[in-house]
A and B are shown apart, each in its own frame.
Chain A
Amino acid sequence: MSLVTVNIDDKSYEAKENSLLIDLLILHDIKVPYFCYHESLGADGNCRMCMVEIEGKKRPQIACDTFVSDGMSIQTASEKISSVRKRILELELINHPVDCPICDQAGECKLQDYYMDFGLYDSNIDMKEKVHNKKHIALGSSVILDRERCVLCTRCVRFTSNITKSGELGVINRGDKACISTVPGMKLDNPYAMNVVDLCPVGALTSKEFRFAQRVWFLKSTPSICHGCSTGCNIFIDHNQEKYKEDKIYRIRPRKNREVNGDFICDYGRLSYKNLQENRQQELLNKSNVISYEDALLELNSKISGSKNIVILVDANLYNEDIAAISNFSQKIGAKLVCPTECYFDDSFGDDWLKSDYKCANLQAIKNYKIDSLFSSDQQIDLLINFNHPSFSKFSSKQSVEFSTHKGSSAELVLAIPAYSEYSGTTINDANIEQYSQKAITTDVATISEYLSDLSKVAL
């Protein structure tokens, strides 16, 4: 496709011929307000917020429905455009309740942002004359609808009709009475439903899990990779450490990556943060007694030196760096390294969009390190060392050690390790893309690499 030159606010830009003007504006961070347009949902042209002036056109035009052509000249910040935007915003706000102080969207709300950018008028509307509507409708899938706050951009509707093709949502009635709804008696119910919460530009759709939990401006967002399955969706882990409390994760949001997950994640992955903070192993235990880090290493060392037939189990969720360290370690002590993978397989989970049949984040690394995925042994195992593999309990051995993120281990020696959100590392997804997760939460617990390098010092 050939390139064309477009003039925007007296600067020239190159763009593909017949591409959307709004995409060009967004790409170059040129301020343009919009509710209904969304890169993954396309243009709908219903909100009219994205007006710009185009030379030669009598009236302002919407940027989301304008295709660029060579020599086009555009004004995005003229006085005329500002006043047009102000008026449209005023219409948008006629029936809006302006209940920002009790709205979860406050701080990341487009309506708020645009009002501060383009609005700032004195309202002509008496609060008492506004059309009132239902404010907490449970749509299903943990999504709550506030009809008064809705700007009818139909992003949520287009998500269910064009992306998940489940068609649960629609605009019913018309005029002042138009609102978002499901068919009476039916629920919003699909494995990706909660994406509508991110898509909604205002506080009309909020998540039951996040409602009233935190003000968004207190949250820190750490880029990470979901460990729910081998797709490796890019996410933000939103967390906050309140005074005198532990650092806590409040939500997981999709992080845009066109190669992997686009703008979306599945609900399973979105809610997986709960498991990251429940029932966690914090202490080091020897036969159920809490022991120190040094004693734990000595105990581990003596177990290793006293055993002949050693088997190491490694979880396919660990970072590449862990798997490399474990693989080295296992060679050094002459152990057999395995990762049975059938426990991760669940074809009722996978689908033809994001969710994959393997519910582990780093299967590819297990393959790359040529770690056995099948294991059977008629020989008695002297020592079984498990690095957080879920099938530990299926094996019997004379002695056992478990590096574990979660409580409930039956091993003699239990060594707490951090969950993926608590340290950084890389994973490789099923399309062979290597991706980096940053550390979101701070913990005192040692990582696998730390254990293994300290162990080699003890073993000297």
Chain B
Amino acid sequence: MSFNFNDDNLEKIELLKSKYPKVQALSLPLLWMAQYQDGFISLEAIQEIAKICETPMMEIYKVSTFYSMFNLQKLGKYHIQLCKTLSCKLCNKDDVLKSIQNELNIQVGESTSDGLFTLSQVECLGSCGTSPVMQLNETYYENLTPISIVEILKALK
């Protein structure tokens, strides 16, 4: 398997190159691009980025593991990121989590066998006023209850 940036991205890369004094500065933007293009960052993508950034593959790999928002594994179509920080925890996110686990039959960090859902827990999503909160792909779902979450998931199936 090999990875190539699509034409749109290649154009963007050229533009970025002209903005920074060193190509190594492109590591983070290129990791984002790869993730948006494939849904996750494959080792092949890391290899390609290392080539463009003229740096050993390890340099890109370690950056990709440092940030939790980079996904190195293929994710389900819907990525559930449930907030686990203080406000959400106090407002009963634990029961919401149990409800998700029951409904989908997966643990945190796993994907459903049909490839539809991946379940993660994340730090504060910055929406404490409406906790508990989950981010589903790019959308926030707020004021969750163990019942409302099941309805949301059912609608997606």
Contact = CB atoms under 8 A, between A and B. Distances in A.
Contacts, number: 34
Contact of A167 (B43, B46, B59, B66): B59
Main secondary structure of the interface of B (DSSP, over half): helix
A167 B65 contact: no
A421 B58 CA distance: 40
Interface of B: 43, 46, 55-59, 61-62, 65-66
B65 A172 contact: yes
Given A167-B59, A170-B58, A170-B59, A184 B43 contact: yes
A112 interface: no
A127 interface: no
A172 B57 CA distance: 12
Contacts of B61: 170, 172, 183-184
A273 B48 CA distance: 41
Contacts of A173: 65-66
Interface string A152-179: 0000000001000011111111100000
B57 A186 contact: yes
A169 B57 CA distance: 10
B43 A174 contact: no
A167 B55 CA distance: 9
With a 10 A CB-CB cut-off, give which of B58, B61, B65, B66 has the most chain A CB atoms: B58
B125 to A, nearest CB: 20
**Residues of A in contact with B, size category:** 10 to 19
A170 B43 contact: no
A183 B66 contact: no
Contact of B43 (A169, A171, A172, A183): A183
A169 B66 contact: no
Interface in A173-200: 173-174, 182-186
Contacts of A168: 56, 58
Given A173-B65, A173-B66, A174-B66, A185 B43 contact: yes
Nearest to B68: A174
B25 to A, nearest CB: 18
A370 B102 CA distance: 86
B55 to A, nearest CB: 8
A166 B59 CA distance: 11
Contacts of A172: 61-62, 65-66
A106 to B, nearest CB: 30
B47 to A, nearest CB: 9
A166 B61 CA distance: 15
B56 A161 contact: yes
Interface in A123-177: 161, 166-174
Contacts of B46: 183
A174 B65 CA distance: 8
15 contacts: A161-B56, A167-B55, A167-B57, A167-B58, A168-B58, A170-B62, A171-B62, A172-B61, A172-B66, A174-B66, A183-B43, A183-B46, A183-B61, A184-B61, A186-B57
Contacts of B58: 161, 167-170, 182-183
A174 B66 CA distance: 6
